[in-house]
Each structure stands twice: as structure tokens, then as C-alpha cells.
Amino acid sequence: MAEPVPVAPERRRIERRTDPTLAELTLPELRRMMVTTMLFVIALALFLWMVRTVIIAAILGIIVASFTRPVYLWLNRRLHSQVVAATATLLLLIGPVMALTAYSYKEVAEVAGYIDTHQDEIATRIEHVSLAAHPDFETIFVDAMNFPRRPPVPSGERAG
């Protein structure tokens, strides 16, 4: 029986450079690395833009947690119950927010009630000035848009 023909290992799989530097890269390798890096940076930027609200919420959550942690630990030592200490800490945090929300709702409701009952009086106080009724409205409007002025065309010559 014949012996098998020895097959040389594939050249592409053997790293020819043992300690490569940037100067030893070929132009296609460098181009491929730069394109890959740029695509990664663009994809990362788009991903971060897409989840920016979640990142902002996470940062705010970390800040609130770092401020409430000492309160929770103090309550946990006093009450000897993690559930009760956590609930009390959350109530201490959410309580003032709920009180301010209730107060602002009450104020907005009062203003809405006042507007509803005094609607005609408020409407008579509002003065409406119609600019379109002014005889030079179009001229004033075009001047305000800051279009570049053309020199006047002498009569008899074609514009263009």
C-alpha cells in the first residue's frame, strides 16, 4: 500500500509575524482595520443615542440609591427588618414628591376653575392685533426675512 502524500500546513493559518507593529501592516490590512473600527464606533454611537434615556435614568437611579443607602442602613439597624427598612426609605423618598404633586394639582385645578368662571372677562382683556390687516404687511414681512436685495433692473433690459 502506498503511503499518504504529506500535506503542508496551510500558509494562511500560520502567523508569519511574531510581534507585529503598525508599520508592518499592509495597506489592505490597515484599511480593513480602519473600516472595521469606524463601523464599530458608528454602531456604538448610534446604540448609545438610542438608549440615552435609559442611561440617564440609570445614572439618576444610581445617584438616588447612593443618597438613600445610608438612610436604609440606619433604619435597618433600628428596625431589624430589611423589608420594613426598605419600605420606610421609599416612603421617605416618595412622600415629599407626592405631597408636591398633590399641591401643584390643587393649584392648577384652582386656576382652571378661575378661567372657566371668568372666561368672558379674560377674553375681553386679550387684545388681538392682526398684522395681516396692515397695508404694508407684505413689504414689512419680506424685509424681515432678510433676503438679499437685487439692484433694480433698468427699463428696457431683460432680467436674468
The three cell numbers locating residue 111: 386656576
140 phi, psi to nearest 5 deg: -65, -40
Residue with cell 454611537: 45
Q: What is the pLDDT of residues 10-64, one digit of tens each?
A: 655 555 656 667 777 788 888 999 999 999 999 999 999 999 999 999 999 999 9
Q: What is the band of 4 on the pLDDT scale with cuts at 50, 70, 90?
A: confident
Q: Is the pLDDT of residue 156 over 70?
A: no
The SS3 assignment for 131 reads: helix
Highest mean pLDDT range out of 89-93, 130-134, 135-139, 149-153? 89-93
- Look at the pTM and tell me if it is higher than 0.85: no
Q: What is the pLDDT of residues 71-129, one digit of tens each?
A: 999 999 999 999 999 999 999 999 999 999 999 999 999 999 999 999 888 888 776 66
